Amino acid sequence: MKEQIASLFEAVLDQWMAKGQLTEQARRPVHVEATRDPAHGDFATNVALLHAKAMGVTPRQLGEQLITELAPHPLIVGIEIAGPGFINLRLRADALFEPITTCIAEGSRYGRGATTGRKVQVEYVSANPTGPLHVGHGRGAAYGATLSNLLSARGHAVETEYYVNDAGRQMSILGASVYIRYLEALGHSLQFPLGGYQGSYIQDLAAELIHTHSDALARPIDDLTRTLVSDGEDTKDAHIDGWIQSIKSTLGADWHIPFDLALTRILDDIRDDLTEFSVTFSHWFSEASLVNTGAIDAAIAQLDAGGHLYRNEGALWFRSTAYGDDKDRVVQRDNGEYTYFASDIAYIANKFSRGYDELIYVWGADHHGYITRVKAAASALGYDPDRLTIRLVQFAILYRGGERVQMSTRSGSFVTLRELREEVGVDACRYFYVMRKADQHLDFDLDLATSQSKDNPVYYIQYAHARICRVFEGLQDQPPFDLQRGLANLALLEGQEVLDIAQRLGQFKETIERAADSLEPHLLCYYLQDLAGDFHRWYNGTRLLVDDISQRDARLTLAQAVRQVLANGLTLLGVSAPEAM
């Protein structure tokens, strides 16, 4: 409907341009919006305000001219100029019910856009597989998944990806941690390194290693520790690196046994964890594959050929300052090892080579400093950095009993995503994570999320859905519901509440578009809360199952449309739409 109205105005602007009254430069797109105040009619546009100055008349004068030249439309029954120059339009009552009809016709597809042909990749979570996901990863997971759903509903071809950091130093530390725990469990006396992974899951993995390999992997402790520097707050990095080196050289090919065990088990755990959270990926991309296929060498060679690299103090540097970075970045250390950033560069090249129109990265807010260098790398590789979008997700702060829950990875006292899910449930968890703008801190109130009370916004929406389901259950003793009869009698619907609902239903699609285009899923949360509120208000004052069959079915048709949109919206959020509560 909006599009129809807008095109009427566009046609007038076209005429003006043809007659030379309006220049290309001064022309603005026509924006039609649903009014907030019923006194302003049903729809309004500010075209007159936008073009008045360029055309040398007052907005109200231009409005008058627009109205007289506007082609008549059978559904527009009122048109007037108001305020500083808004044009308010009033539609025939049955036209306002159009969203109901469309919603019923399209069902679960209602709200989805036509295929855009745009290919988008969303990479998110991508947590190091060195331990279970914690609550910080949870927000990125919920945000990325919901965003992907929205982009898909928007009509884009969406692929999702988890980048597995299975090649870096952190993974070596993980493998070493498991191996040291393994030695410990076999009775060797040693001090577990400060720089190792402390969590109890490491001991579990060591126990599994004993189960499968007995003591076959054990080596004399003195051989392993001979060259180690002492462990301490200042030397823990050197200490654990020493361990890694001695374990690798002593174990030789057997090193991959504890390493692969740890990687496989933890990655499986992460995958299960996310699946239970309704978060799945099209691809799991291995960083190690970039190493093995020579992709890193190739990418670095490409940068070198382009003159973007130089040597300094033995290291190889990328001149990212040429693209606005604060300082140049090392891609290869003086010891010959590539940095993590080198993998990132190869990964960027790999992604672009797969033909996506847009690459979206979802990162934790602590990665803020990496945006510039990654975009710089994309530019230096010859790609358009604007096709690469990076969204930062701020951390969630948990509150329990009004107190902030302290979390520390080091002490192992962090809250895992799994624990959070089990405490508050997937539905509340998914909803709470995305209900706020991603780049803002999120106060996650555990008490509120777990409370089965009216204060809990996710229940408010689900309750509206369940209520509608209950009404339909009440039909059992009555003549069956006839959808066609309902659609034919929509004109019997009365009251401002009904108009509000119909208007809201009509905004579902544009809400999805807006949320997808701005990468802000929280808009959908607010929309669903508003729609649920519209419904509760109507329901409270209107009995649906009345004796008059025509009236009854008209009301049930409206209820059905609301239920459909609530279900469609909740599905996009990864939240269930319960039939009973």
Cα distances from 24 to residues 6, 19, 28, 55, 102, in angstroms, run: 18, 12, 9, 12, 36
Q: Which is nearer to RNA, 172 or 183 (CB)?
A: 172
For the bound state, the minimum distance from the C-beta of residue 425 to RNA, rounded and expressed in Å, comes to 11
For RNA, the binding residues in 212-241 under the rule CB under 7 A are none
For the bound state, the minimum distance from the C-beta of residue 44 to RNA, rounded and expressed in Å, comes to 3
Listed residue (140, 148, 158) closest to 515, CA to CA: 148
Helix axes 508-517, 549-573, angle to 10 degrees: 10
Listed residue (329, 285, 340, 415) closest to 170, CA to CA: 340
Is the CB of residue 462 less than 8 Å from the CB of residue 536? no
For the bound state, the minimum distance from the C-beta of residue 354 to RNA, rounded and expressed in Å, comes to 23
Does 85 participate in binding RNA (rule CB under 7 A)?
Answer: yes
Does 49 participate in binding RNA (rule CB under 7 A)?
Answer: yes
- Among 36, 222, 355, 480, contact with RNA (rule: CB under 7 A): 36
As a whole number of angstroms, the distance between CA 141 and CA 279 comes to 7
For the bound state, the minimum distance from the C-beta of residue 48 to RNA, rounded and expressed in Å, comes to 8
For the bound state, the minimum distance from the C-beta of residue 163 to RNA, rounded and expressed in Å, comes to 11
End-to-end CA distance of the chain: 36
Is the CB of residue 561 less than 8 Å from the CB of residue 551? no
For the bound state, the minimum distance from the C-beta of residue 207 to RNA, rounded and expressed in Å, comes to 25
For the bound state, the minimum distance from the C-beta of residue 355 to RNA, rounded and expressed in Å, comes to 26
- Among 340, 390, 492, 499, contact with RNA (rule: CB under 7 A): 340
Does 370 participate in binding RNA (rule CB under 7 A)?
Answer: yes
The two beta strands, 157-164 and 283-286, are: parallel
As a whole number of angstroms, the distance between CA 108 and CA 111 comes to 8
Looking at 383-391, 414-422, 539-547, 561-569, which segment touches RNA (CB under 7 A)? Answer: 539-547
- Among 440, 479, 483, 548, contact with RNA (rule: CB under 7 A): 440
For RNA, the binding residues in 277-336 under the rule CB under 7 A are 312-315, 326-327, 330, 333-335
For the bound state, the minimum distance from the C-beta of residue 66 to RNA, rounded and expressed in Å, comes to 14
- Among 183, 442, 446, 577, contact with RNA (rule: CB under 7 A): 442
3-state helix, strand, coil split of the chain in percent (to 5) is 55, 15, 30
Cα distances from 233 to residues 177, 239, 541, in angstroms, run: 17, 10, 67
Does 508 participate in binding RNA (rule CB under 7 A)?
Answer: no
The two beta strands, 76-82 and 86-91, are: antiparallel
For the bound state, the minimum distance from the C-beta of residue 234 to RNA, rounded and expressed in Å, comes to 11
Does 192 participate in binding RNA (rule CB under 7 A)?
Answer: no
Is the CB of residue 177 less than 8 Å from the CB of residue 202? yes
For RNA, the binding residues in 87-116 under the rule CB under 7 A are 88
For every residue of 21-37, DSSP letters joined together read SS-TTT-----EEE-SS
Q: Which is nearer to RNA, 261 or 438 (CB)?
A: 438
Is the CB of residue 434 less than 8 Å from the CB of residue 521? yes
- Among 42, 123, 427, 520, contact with RNA (rule: CB under 7 A): 520
As a whole number of angstroms, the distance between CA 156 and CA 486 comes to 34
Enumerate the β-bridge partners of residue 80: 88
Does 574 participate in binding RNA (rule CB under 7 A)?
Answer: no
Looking at 104-112, 366-374, 378-386, 480-488, which segment touches RNA (CB under 7 A)? Answer: 366-374
Does 453 participate in binding RNA (rule CB under 7 A)?
Answer: yes
For the bound state, the minimum distance from the C-beta of residue 84 to RNA, rounded and expressed in Å, comes to 4
As a whole number of angstroms, the distance between CA 156 and CA 121 comes to 10
As a whole number of angstroms, the distance between CA 147 and CA 123 comes to 11
Residues near 263 by Cβ (< 8 Å), separated by ≥ 6?
129, 166, 171, 174, 175
Does 404 participate in binding RNA (rule CB under 7 A)?
Answer: no
Looking at 12-20, 106-114, 301-309, 523-531, which segment touches RNA (CB under 7 A)? Answer: 523-531
Q: Which is nearer to RNA, 155 or 364 (CB)?
A: 364
Does 457 participate in binding RNA (rule CB under 7 A)?
Answer: yes
Q: Which is nearer to RNA, 183 or 299 (CB)?
A: 299
As a whole number of angstroms, the distance between CA 357 and CA 346 comes to 18
Does 379 participate in binding RNA (rule CB under 7 A)?
Answer: no
Does 365 participate in binding RNA (rule CB under 7 A)?
Answer: yes
Q: Which is nearer to RNA, 41 or 217 (CB)?
A: 41
Dihedral angle of Cα 284, 290, 292, 294, to the nearest 10 degrees: 150
Handedness of CA 360, 366, 372, 376 (dihedral sign): negative
Tokens of 521: 């899923």
- Among 529, 550, 551, 576, contact with RNA (rule: CB under 7 A): 529
As a whole number of angstroms, the distance between CA 288 and CA 129 comes to 13
Interface mask (CB under 7 A) for RNA, residues 480-499, using x and -?
Answer: --------------------
The residue type of 2 is K
Does 267 participate in binding RNA (rule CB under 7 A)?
Answer: no
Does 540 participate in binding RNA (rule CB under 7 A)?
Answer: yes
As a whole number of angstroms, the distance between CA 51 and CA 62 comes to 8
Does 474 participate in binding RNA (rule CB under 7 A)?
Answer: yes
For the bound state, the minimum distance from the C-beta of residue 128 to RNA, rounded and expressed in Å, comes to 5
Does 160 participate in binding RNA (rule CB under 7 A)?
Answer: no
The residue type of 524 is L
- Among 53, 109, 226, 404, contact with RNA (rule: CB under 7 A): 53
Does 387 participate in binding RNA (rule CB under 7 A)?
Answer: no
Does 368 participate in binding RNA (rule CB under 7 A)?
Answer: yes
Looking at 70-78, 252-260, 378-386, 536-544, which segment touches RNA (CB under 7 A)? Answer: 536-544
Q: Which is nearer to RNA, 218 or 450 (CB)?
A: 450
Is the CB of residue 417 less than 8 Å from the CB of residue 407? no
As a whole number of angstroms, the distance between CA 445 and CA 472 comes to 34
Phi/psi at 246 (5° precision): -70, -35
Contacts with RNA: how many residues (CB under 7 A)? 86
Q: Which is nearer to RNA, 217 or 427 (CB)?
A: 427
For the bound state, the minimum distance from the C-beta of residue 313 to RNA, rounded and expressed in Å, comes to 3
C-beta neighbour count of 271 within 10 angstroms = 16
Looking at residue 1, what DSSP letter applies? -
- Among 514, 549, 571, 576, contact with RNA (rule: CB under 7 A): 514
